[in-house]
Chains A and B, each alone.
Chain A
Amino acid sequence: MSNSPASTSSHRRDSILLGVAVGVVGVTFGVLADSAGLSPARTMAMSLLVFTGASQFLAVGVVASGGSAVSAVTGALLLGARNAMYGMRMSPILGPGAVRRAAASQLVIDESTAMSLAQDNIDDSRDAFWVTGLAVYLFWNLGTAGGVWLGDVVGEPAVWGLDAAFPASFVALIGPHIVTKPGQVAAVLAAAIALLAVPFTPAGLPVLLAALAVGPALAVQRRSHRPTGPAGVEGVT
């Protein structure tokens, strides 16, 4: 069924639906960035240029809780490092052409990688990568713009419980990562490290210290002799 009309239209529909869903998350990002005091232009620059949702949420979250820009950027880049792993996986699928590959690189994120790897032949994989990547790019940015506008309308964030939206979005995001034992160890240890560090360190540092939890989690993973990563590719953003 290589590239038959049926399979092509089926994965394209899924890709576009996924893009729309991510667009809704983009609305949340826009509202949160606005309530964290990021200007509309900078918020849009984040979604257009950074374009990796979880890192954007993390950066804005660190800034919102009083952390420094250095902590925000460092934490966000630690999180974005998984896109390098996805890039390695997608490299043979993307096809030739330096310009094309440079453009494709910006679209290497959770969703495009996951949708591409779900196809059973390379033509569909490549097509799914581009359609998903472009759909997510379009709707993520439309959603962000909508959120920035909405953020101006709602006014005082705490009255609406908007400060709870940050942790809630991360609760939703962490789900696919804690289905394996190593993922659970990483999460529980990191949570403990972050809380213990709060009274003793400047804002922003607890997040970075929590990254140390990866060490013990890695030991657990190695001991269980399973070569697979935690779900490999995860759901939203």
Chain B
Amino acid sequence: MSWVAVLTLAAGAYLLKLVGVVAGDRFGTPLFRQAVLLMPPALFAAVIMLQTFESDTSLVLDARAWGLLAACVATWRRLPFMVIVLIAMAVTAIARLVS
């Protein structure tokens, strides 16, 4: 990412926060607000899939899939954030070593 991209993102992110604070309750319909709050599960799920199964605009199944599986189990067991990430990394690294 270039400096322009970083600073554009910074300005945009701040303006979004500021717009909410300035507008208070006067902004957006309830439907719009619900749509915005449904953005995170959609975007997160897409990122999980792409980061695990994408390689140069094609789909692949490799060691990362084992990491994803491990992360799902660790999350389901309600382990702390850092532990979930470390387990996924370890499982992926080991799967890569043995394959």
Contact = CB atoms under 8 A, between A and B. Distances in A.
Contacts of A108: 17, 20-21
Given A25-B82, A76-B13, A210-B42, A160 B89 contact: yes
A13 to B, nearest CB: 18
A46 B43 contact: no
Nearest to B14: A106
A214 B36 CA distance: 8
A117 to B, nearest CB: 14
B58 interface: yes
A152 to B, nearest CB: 17
A191 interface: yes
A164 B91 contact: yes
B2 A183 contact: no
Interface residues of B, number: 76
Interface in B51-99: 51-54, 56-59, 63-64, 67-68, 70-72, 74-75, 80-82, 84-85, 87-94, 96
Given A168-B71, A174-B40, A211-B43, A221 B34 contact: yes
A186 B68 CA distance: 19
Q: Is the interface of B mostly helix, strand, loop or mixed?
A: helix
Interface residues of A, number: 108
Contacts, number: 326
B38 A214 contact: yes
Contacts of B33: 85, 88, 229
A93 B20 CA distance: 13
Q: Is the interface of A mostly helix, strand, loop or mixed?
A: helix
B17 to A, nearest CB: 4
A226 to B, nearest CB: 10
A105 B17 CA distance: 5
Given A84-B16, A198-B54, A199-B58, A50 B45 contact: no
Nearest to A162: B89
A214 B67 contact: no
Contacts of A169: 81, 84-85
Contacts of B58: 198-199
Contact of A79 (B40, B52, B67, B91): B40
A77 to B, nearest CB: 5
B13 A177 contact: no
B63 to A, nearest CB: 8
